Amino acid sequence: MEQLIKQTLYMLAKLCNSDQVILLNVEDNSIGVVIGGFNKGELALPGKTLKFKNTPLEKIVTTKQAHTYHADLVEELLIPTYKPSAHSIGCLCIPLLNDQNKVIGLALLSQKAGQPLPSDRAQILSLLRPLMASVINAAMENEHLIQMATTDNLTGLYNRRYFETRLQEEFTRIRRHGGGMSLMLIDVDRFKQINETCGYPEGNRLLQELAKLIALSIRKEIDIPSRYGGEQFILLLPSTEVDGAYVLAERIRKRCEQFRFMTLKGIPLKMTVSIGIAHSLDVVHQENIGADGEAVAEVAQVNLVTKEELLYRADTMLTAAKQAGRNQIMVWW
């Protein structure tokens, strides 16, 4: 899919003599998500969003007609505008329709001043619109399949399978480039009792609220939050020492402790969590002994633990937190 998007961008750039080309997936007729961008020979921008309200793109989506507008280049992203600025460039905006005549995407192509698109190329571009719409549709379906394969249906966080894949990737990165990571295992206290007292639907709602609290607490697009199974969640924290992991764990623990969960019948429930933390690196301190038998220096040896050992340590610390009275954080130092 990525290669198909690249080829489409290059083809459009060459055909229309454009320095900038953007392919957008249209969501709810009000927001476009970039599935691919081309800027002066470089590919970039996937994942960025562009709001349509009060912009020419809102009219393009409504009328389903292509039109050329002024545009500003903001962080390599073409932003069509009604009013030109000193740095404006031309931007050809093309709606891409599916078989039901619905706008599912947009193609934005920069136009050089005084160089309108020749009629023969404009005709070719018109013939290519169904192909571009197919690329958008395929990208949407591919994204949906990826989301289904990597996301936990109940909480919306990543699932265990995705976590295990990312954990392996992070270990590979550390072996090649150095660094470390922390692992955080979170468990809802007395969850079985909550299920038995209030029922499984309320237990599921509680897990959904906890997932939201976790998502609000972490670093977006860096930390990897996953549902590990049942009432357990696991966080992969790249390039994070145990001190930083503990700060995050305390933030999550406090937010859970202060959160007031209300069942659908109006029964308040207190939610607390126990957390275990481990780090991927072992630091072993050794003393060198001199000729006179006295210690003369201390040497720190850093070892990368295995995946299995890292998971074992996080789980061991979680068990220790439970045994210490719950609503606790324990770290394998």
Label residue 68 exposed, middle or buried (CB < 10 Å: 0-12, 13-18, 19+): middle
Do 90 and 167 sit in the same domain of this protein?
no
Do 146 and 166 sit in the same domain of this protein?
no
Residue 295 pLDDT greater than 70, yes or no: no
What are the pLDDT digits (tens) for 3-21?
888 888 888 989 998 999 9
Do 181 and 72 sit in the same domain of this protein?
no
| CATH code of the domain in which 269 resides | 3.30.70.270
What are the pLDDT digits (tens) for 202-225?
999 999 999 999 999 999 889 999
Do 188 and 318 sit in the same domain of this protein?
yes
The pLDDT-based confidence of 288 (bands split at 50, 70, 90) is: low
Report the distance separating Cα 163 and Cα 140, nearest Å: 23
Residue 300 pLDDT greater than 70, yes or no: no
* pLDDT at site 1: 73
Report the distance separating Cα 151 and Cα 149, nearest Å: 6
* pLDDT at site 312: 97
- Which residues make Cβ contacts (< 8 Å) with residue 43, sequence separation at least 6? 6, 9, 36, 37
Do 71 and 167 sit in the same domain of this protein?
no
Which residue among 123, 150, 177 closes a domain?
150
Do 145 and 166 sit in the same domain of this protein?
no
Q: Which residue has the higher pLDDT, 40 or 329?
A: 329
Instruction: Give domain status of residue 30, yes or no.
Output: yes
Do 242 and 298 sit in the same domain of this protein?
yes
Do 326 and 181 sit in the same domain of this protein?
yes
Average pLDDT over residues 298-303: 67
Residue 63 pLDDT greater than 70, yes or no: yes
* pLDDT at site 6: 85
Instruction: Give domain status of residue 155, yes or no.
Output: no
Instruction: Give domain status of residue 129, yes or no.
Output: yes
How far apart, in Å, are the Cα atoms of 7 and each of 38, 46, 73, 117, 278? 11, 15, 22, 20, 44
**Range in 180-184, 186-190, 260-264, 281-285 the model is least confident about:** 281-285
| CATH code of the domain in which 50 resides | 3.30.450.40
| Token reading at 173 | 């990165």
Instruction: Give domain status of residue 241, yes or no.
Output: yes
What are the pLDDT digits (tens) for 149-176?
889 999 999 999 999 999 999 999 999 9
Report the distance separating Cα 81 and Cα 139, nearest Å: 27
* pLDDT at site 257: 95
Do 84 and 116 sit in the same domain of this protein?
yes
Residues with a catalytic annotation lie at 231
Do 326 and 205 sit in the same domain of this protein?
yes
* pLDDT at site 286: 58
Q: Which residue has the higher pLDDT, 329 or 121?
A: 329
The pLDDT-based confidence of 87 (bands split at 50, 70, 90) is: confident
Do 219 and 111 sit in the same domain of this protein?
no
**Range in 145-159, 176-190, 293-307 the model is least confident about:** 293-307
Q: What is the CA radius of gyration of the chain?
A: 27
Three-class SS state of 119 = helix
- If one counts the domains in the chain, the total is 2
Instruction: Give domain status of residue 221, yes or no.
Output: yes
- Which residues make Cβ contacts (< 8 Å) with residue 108, sequence separation at least 6? 20, 21, 22, 24, 71, 78, 80, 91, 92, 93, 94
Which residue among 100, 115, 150 closes a domain?
150
Instruction: Give domain status of residue 313, yes or no.
Output: yes
- Provide the domain limits for residue 88: 2-150
Which residue among 105, 120, 150 closes a domain?
150
Do 8 and 50 sit in the same domain of this protein?
yes
Backbone angles phi, psi at 188, to 5 degrees: -75, 130
Instruction: Give domain status of residue 192, yes or no.
Output: yes
Instruction: Give domain status of residue 275, yes or no.
Output: yes
* pLDDT at site 267: 86
